[in-house]
A and B are shown apart, each in its own frame.
Chain A
Amino acid sequence: MTELLQDIGLSHGLAVFIAKAVGVMVVGAFGLLWTLLGIWIERKAAGRFQDRLGPNRVGPFGLIQSIADTVKILLKEDLMPQGADRWVFNLAPIVSVVSVMLIWAVVPFSGSWIGSDLNIGVLYLVAVGAFGTVAVLMAGWSSNNKYALLSAFRSVAQLVSYEVPMVLALLVPVLLSGSMSTQTIVEQQHIMYLLAVPLTVLIFLTSGQAETGRGPFDLLEAESEIVSGFHIEYSGMKFGMFYVAEFLHAFTIGVLTAILFMGGWRGPFAEDVPLLGFIYLMIKSMVAYMVLIWVRMTLPRLRIDQLLDFNWKFLVPLSLVNLLVVAFVWKILPDTDQINSFGDALVPTLVLLVVNIALIAGVGAILRERGRRERQRVEARLTAAESAAAGD
């Protein structure tokens, strides 16, 4: 692309700039267009999980439902409540989309298709992802609505808490590949890290689910307690942007899982045909994303104390232990700094897998024991209450 533009007679700097600008347009437009299709897929899957059909009226299989929704939402009157902070109120939906879109800048779509192969890619992911928390607080604070404000407080406590295990999980692929560049992490996965460190993937998916405010962690929009959450006062396209940001964020967690743990674009013949790599990446992302939808549709919502307890008293200590265990095993294994082929990766992967299974079994045993004791405690209290009631 750059050479082509230079041939027309543009200077090198300008040619690079135009090539980058075109790349930006392609990635950005793809992100938003994918949302239209992705929301349909999610609603269809959600329908099946709940034993209903999902969208099936507009177009074949309800395929253009999202477009119909977009048109509808475009024609909604845009309202702003009294006493709202005008600037912050209007900026919040945009900021929430920006925070997610920026992540896509470092996604390696295939061996040669990457927006920007930053050498600090993973750190960039963390920094940009934290932007979303600001958007939620902006929306809640500026709405001049007590429910919105309550929701914003809750969600900031939640998003900020779950960021710790998420980043600790992100450290594992950085440690294994010895690089923070997303492209290098993909290239280093001669065997996908999912097979070497399944516990880390579980931690990442759990905290990722909480970061997107979905599934059992959707406290920020608990409609039975706080009406609808931080975006209650938004209508029309501003609400639409929050919706887009939520979907895109959830899907991005799937993409990140695919890149960091499932080998990204790698697959048969992906080195030679970039398009194939892109298709592999999308399939892997979809698999990870479907797991997230599955969890979301299956589990009931947690209370805020349970949510924070689960993070600080379980997930954070567990991810710290997990990181140290992986680091220890990685150090005692020979030649882990020179993994250049499938054969080199085989032994370390198997050893890490065995250690991980042992770790998961150990944690599972502790959890079962604690659960048994808790059940006994509750049952003892119930029987005590029953006998007290019978005695009266």
Chain B
Amino acid sequence: MSLNEWIFIGLFFALSWILPATPIVLGKILAPRRPNPVKHQVYECGVETFGDTRVQFRAQYYIFALVFVLFDVELVFLFPWALAYNQLGLFALFEMTVFIFLLVVALVYTWRKGALTWA
């Protein structure tokens, strides 16, 4: 039974690539094609582009990504807990409170460090 459910997901995955690809290919066939160098320039408000686009970027983005990873791992642990919650005793609640508290400490630490402030 469970495997059958995944057959559907697999087929759906295949189809969901075909459905958006079809109109794009159709557009390729139907649309006019008269390329010239000006059309293929990068559009940056009419100002000619200079330098390389893929330059170094702010470290701030990276910090947010790190904080996200911290919480995402936490969420993965929360799912089985929430799923089995009705069968667990009161102790499970206290355990999870401690677990979340530890992560809140981490959040407060990053907050106090100023990592969450966009400067």
- Within A274-300, the residues touching B (CB, 8 Å) are none
Contact pattern, A 13-32, Cβ under 8 Å of B = 1, otherwise 0 = 00011001101110111011
Which 8 pairs, one residue from A and one from B, show the smallest C-beta to C-beta distance?
A237-B27, A305-B118, A97-B20, A101-B16, A337-B86, A116-B8, A175-B82, A116-B5
- Within B52-110, the residues touching A (CB, 8 Å) are 53-54, 57-58, 61, 64-65, 67-68, 71-72, 75, 78-79, 82-87, 90, 93, 96-97, 100, 104, 107
Task: State whether A146 touches B116 (Cβ < 8 A).
Answer: no
Task: State whether B43 touches A145 (Cβ < 8 A).
Answer: yes
Task: State whether A145 touches B44 (Cβ < 8 A).
Answer: yes
User: Is A316 part of the binding interface, using a Cβ–Cβ cutoff of 8 Å?
Assistant: yes
Task: State whether A97 touches B107 (Cβ < 8 A).
Answer: no
Contacts of A171 in B (CB 8 A): 75, 78-79, 82
User: Is A57 part of the binding interface, using a Cβ–Cβ cutoff of 8 Å?
Assistant: no
- Within B33-58, the residues touching A (CB, 8 Å) are 33-35, 39-45, 49, 53-54, 57-58
User: Is A82 part of the binding interface, using a Cβ–Cβ cutoff of 8 Å?
Assistant: yes
- Within A103-136, the residues touching B (CB, 8 Å) are 104-105, 115-119, 122-124, 126
Task: State whether A74 touches B11 (Cβ < 8 A).
Answer: no
Task: State whether A93 touches B12 (Cβ < 8 A).
Answer: no
Chain A contact-residue range equals: 35 or more
User: Is A4 part of the binding interface, using a Cβ–Cβ cutoff of 8 Å?
Assistant: no
User: Is A77 part of the binding interface, using a Cβ–Cβ cutoff of 8 Å?
Assistant: yes
Contacts of A236 in B (CB 8 A): 27, 31
Task: State whether A324 touches B43 (Cβ < 8 A).
Answer: no
The residue among B12, B31, B65 with the most chain A CB atoms within 10 A of its own CB is B12
Distance between A377 CB and nearest chain B CB, rounded to angstroms: 17
Given contacts A161-B64, A171-B78, contact A93 B20 (CB under 8 A): yes
Interface size (B, Cβ < 8 Å)?
A: 66
Contacts of A141 in B (CB 8 A): 54
Contacts of A164 in B (CB 8 A): 68, 71-72, 75
Task: State whether A94 touches B67 (Cβ < 8 A).
Answer: no
Task: State whether B12 touches A27 (Cβ < 8 A).
Answer: yes
Task: State whether A98 touches B27 (Cβ < 8 A).
Answer: no
A189-197, A238-246, A366-374: which lies at the B interface?
A238-246
User: Is A75 part of the binding interface, using a Cβ–Cβ cutoff of 8 Å?
Assistant: yes
Residue of A nearest to B1 (CB): A117
Q: Which residue in A70, A90, A126, A233 is a CB contact (below 8 Å) of B42?
A: A233
Q: Which residue in B65, B79, B96 is a CB contact (below 8 Å) of A174?
A: B79
Could you tell me the distance between the alpha carbons of A161 and B21 in the complex, rounded to whole angstroms?
Answer: 30
Could you tell me the distance between the alpha carbons of A16 and B83 in the complex, rounded to whole angstroms?
Answer: 30
Task: State whether B93 touches A327 (Cβ < 8 A).
Answer: yes
Distance between B68 CB and nearest chain A CB, rounded to angstroms: 5
Distance between B85 CB and nearest chain A CB, rounded to angstroms: 5
Residue of B nearest to A106 (CB): B9
User: Is A37 part of the binding interface, using a Cβ–Cβ cutoff of 8 Å?
Assistant: no
Distance between B9 CB and nearest chain A CB, rounded to angstroms: 5
Distance between A325 CB and nearest chain B CB, rounded to angstroms: 11
Q: Can you list 15 A-B pairs with a CB-CB distance of less than 8 A?
A: A24-B11, A77-B31, A94-B24, A97-B19, A101-B12, A146-B53, A160-B65, A178-B83, A178-B87, A237-B24, A309-B117, A312-B107, A312-B111, A317-B107, A331-B85
Could you tell me the distance between the alpha carbons of A304 and B74 in the complex, rounded to whole angstroms?
Answer: 25
